Amino acid sequence: MPRIVFLALAVLISGVAAAEVADVYDFGDRAQEQRYQNLIAELRCPKCQNQNIADSSAPIARDMRDEVYRMMKDGAGNDEIVEALVGRFGEFVRYKPEFDSRTFLLWATPVIGVFGGLLAVAVVIIRSRRRAGAENPALSAEEKARVARMLAEKEQDGTS
């Protein structure tokens, strides 16, 4: 009996949870809906930071979703919609900040890191080669002739 009560409760609660996140927007076609989903996934909620407005249930995130939807219906482009929200809430709402003088380091750090690492590896390799070269200098013509002679003698020894 308690089990049935538990199940009934679970069913009830899951209905509430699902209803809370569902906004009802009507899109003409699948592509528009996908575009909307992409847009709200890359806009950040200013209230509950570190959530995008797709995930957030804050009232302000809801207002922002409404605005995105309204502008899409009015035929606005993606950039236009994002700019409109940045104009109100600041660069903070962009999960993908523009590349400019302020965000230069943010975007360039991974590249700088990779190239710095490669450079360090290259320097280490070149140095160790050079050192190995210094320890084993190339043989002179005279020494080469001597080696050839020794090898030839050894071969004779082996066959006899």
Partner 1 sequence: MKRFLLFLPLLVAVVIGVVLFAGIGRDPTKLESALIGKPVPEFSLPDLHNPDAMLDQSLFRGRVTLLNVWGTWCPACRDEHDDLIWLAEEKGVTIIGLNYKDNREDALVWLDRLGDPYRDIIYDPRGTLGFDLGVYGAPETFVIDAGGIVRYRHVGVINEAVWEQALQPVINELQGNG
* Smallest distance from partner 1 to CB 85, Å: 9
> Is 147:139 a contact under the CB 8 Å cutoff?
yes
Q: Site for partner 1 (CB under 8 A): which residue of 63, 98, 153, 155?
A: 63
Smallest separation, CB 18 to partner 1 (Å)? 25
Place of tokens 């209803």: 19
Q: What separation in angstroms does the CA of 157 have from each of 103, 128, 143, 149, 154?
A: 74, 39, 21, 12, 5
Query: Should residue 60 be labelled a site residue for partner 1 when binding is judged by CB under 8 A?
Result: yes
Q: Taking CB under 8 A as the rule, which mask of x and - marks residues 100-129 in contact with partner 1? A: ------------------------------
Residue 55 within binding range of partner 1, rule CB under 8 A: no
Question: According to CB under 8 A, which one of 59, 110, 137, 158 is a site residue for partner 1?
Answer: 59
Query: What letter does residue 100 receive in the DSSP assignment?
Result: S
Yes or no: say if 52 and 40 are a contact pair by the CB < 8 Å rule: yes
Among 87, 110, 137, 158, binds partner 1 (CB under 8 A): 87
- Phi and psi dihedrals of 53, rounded to 5? -75, -10
**43 touches 95 (CB < 8 A):** yes
Could you tell me which stretch among 20-28, 41-49, 72-80, 141-149 binds partner 1 (CB under 8 A)? 41-49
Cα separation, 78 vs 76, whole angstroms: 7
54 binds partner 1 (CB under 8 A): no
* Binding residues vs partner 1 (CB under 8 A): 46-47, 49, 59-60, 63, 67, 86-92
